[in-house]
């Protein structure tokens, strides 16, 4: 199976996925308008790998929580402070929702409590209809695959509507949405005080909103957007100069970009630029045998970057 993505509306296709070409099959679908204040998009990976094969999926997540339905359970993936990965084997799928700040508090009172975690939740009223949709019309045709995904999202949306009807949004939830939109959508937003000025609130209010509804500091939200953009640009154009990229993204210099990259992703921009050339999940699986050597090279490159 080759990598595949389907464009749905204005949903961005590749941000946050470090090796999109290595995905077996992946779709992002936009939510209907009446729940768009709760969910940014739904995402559905599906895979069917030969025996003995493993596909490692590397993700630099958005600064948000994801509510994920898998075949056996429902789990909340909290906001992350670093890149993460998952090893796919056999045949499977997941149906996730990238929650907006207002949607996050429908599921968890304190998002910071699940930071860097994956907590199973007892939500049978969500699990059962989504699993039924994903397994009820399984077949080889693209039409059946699309029908399953649409049915799964419809079931998910129905659950969200019922949940929201029972739980009024707390004060500040929509302002927290505005903060997330601002930080993620405006590349000129480099400091927390800039976000506060744009929203017409104090810096302390911005910090409180991020802590209450996102689970990470607003400065971390800004850094994550910059790192996602850096990875996306290096992947799209491996010839991009690191010094120019650092300047464009508001870093003091190339060394600061390299340090941020290495701290969160575990490797440097130069190492990623080389690894991003992987084209299929077969390449990704084969490349795992080379990981130790790449990590050593990353450490050497980090030392060189700090001296430039």
Q: Are 268 and 262 in contact (CB under 8 A)?
A: yes
Right CATH for 174-307 from 3.40.50.1820, 1.10.10.60, 1.20.1300.10, 3.20.20.140: 1.10.10.60
Distance CA 304, CA 308 (A): 7
Give the tens place of pLDDT for each residue, 166-208: 999 999 999 999 999 999 999 899 999 999 999 999 999 999 9
Distance CA 23, CA 3 (A): 5
What six digits make up the tokens of 71?
A: 């075949």
The label of the residue with tokens 């209907």 reads 32
The label of the residue with tokens 């997941």 reads 94
Give the tens place of pLDDT for each residue, 205-222: 999 999 999 999 999 999
Would the pTM count as exceeding 0.85? no
Question: Helix-strand-coil percent breakdown of the chain, rounded to 5?
Answer: 50, 15, 35
What six digits make up the tokens of 53?
A: 């094969």
Q: Are 21 and 41 in contact (CB under 8 A)?
A: no
pLDDT less than 50: residues of the chain: 1-11, 138-142, 279-308
pLDDT at 205: 98
The label of the residue with tokens 């991003």 reads 276
The kind and range of the H/E element at 211 are: helix 203-213
- Count CB neighbours of 135 within 10 A: 12
Domain ranges of the chain: 5-166, 174-307
pLDDT at 136: 81
């Amino acid at each position: 199976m080759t990598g595949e993505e389907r464009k749905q509306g204005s949903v961005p296709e590749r941000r946050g996925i470090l090796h999109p070409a290595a995905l077996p099959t992946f779709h992002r679908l936009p939510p209907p308008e009446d729940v768009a204040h709760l969910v940014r998009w739904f995402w559905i990976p599906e895979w069917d790998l030969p025996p003995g094969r493993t596909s490692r999926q590397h993700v630099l997540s958005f600064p948000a929580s994801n509510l994920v339905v898998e075949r056996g359970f429902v789990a909340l993936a909290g906001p992350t402070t670093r890149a993460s990965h998952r090893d796919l084997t056999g045949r499977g799928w997941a149906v996730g929702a990238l929650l907006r700040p207002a949607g996050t508090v429908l599921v968890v009172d304190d998002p910071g409590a699940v930071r860097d975690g994956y907590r199973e939740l007892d939500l049978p009223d969500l699990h059962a209809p989504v699993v039924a949709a994903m397994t009820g019309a399984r077949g080889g045709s693209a039409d059946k695959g699309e029908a399953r995904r649409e049915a799964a999202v419809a079931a998910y949306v129905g659950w969200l509507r019922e949940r929201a009807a029972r739980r009024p949004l707390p004060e500040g939830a929509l302002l927290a949405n505005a903060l997330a939109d601002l930080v993620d959508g405006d590349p000129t937003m480099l400091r927390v005080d800039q976000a506060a000025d744009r929203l017409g609130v104090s810096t302390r209010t911005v910090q409180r909103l991020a802590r209450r509804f996102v689970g990470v500091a607003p400065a971390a939200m800004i850094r994550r957007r910059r790192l996602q953009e850096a990875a996306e640009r290096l992947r799209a154009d491996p010839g991009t100069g690191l010094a120019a990229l650092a300047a464009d993204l508001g870093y003091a210099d190339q060394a600061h970009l390299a340090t941020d990259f290495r701290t969160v992703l575990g490797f440097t921009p130069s190492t990623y630029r080389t690894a991003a050339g992987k084209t299929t999940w077969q390449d990704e699986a084969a490349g795992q045998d080379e990981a130790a050597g790449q990590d050593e090279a990353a450490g050497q490159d980090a030392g060189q970057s700090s001296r430039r």
